Structure 1
Amino acid sequence: MRTLFHCWSGIYIVSQRWAKALDGVNGHQVAAGKRLKSLDEQLML
């Protein structure tokens, strides 16, 4: 039972890290998209 719990807690920690990494990637993409949008608006002016 203890080893099973240890295994699950390890999976949970890894999945949390992956979630944070993916959030970081998505955040960068959103920031890049906003930057491109503002650049387009500047070019139109």
Structure 2
Amino acid sequence: MRSLLAKTAEAASRGEFEPFKTSSIFDSTAQNPDWLGEEPQRLQQLMSA
């Protein structure tokens, strides 16, 4: 097990083979932000300040 982890440590540290974790390519919500709806009024006020 240690040998296998040592061989994959460098690629794993960069997330090279995990684009579903390190990008928005597979994130359906990122591709459809309207699913989240409007921010509550309180947050809209904070963002405009």
Mark yes or no: TM-score above 0.5.
no
Q: Name which one, 1 or 2, has greater alpha-carbon Rg.
A: 1
TM-score by length of 2: 0.29
TM-score by length of 1: 0.30
Higher relative contact order, structure no. (Cα contacts within 8 Å, ≥ 6 residues apart)? 2
Q: Larger helix proportion, structure 1 or 2?
A: 1
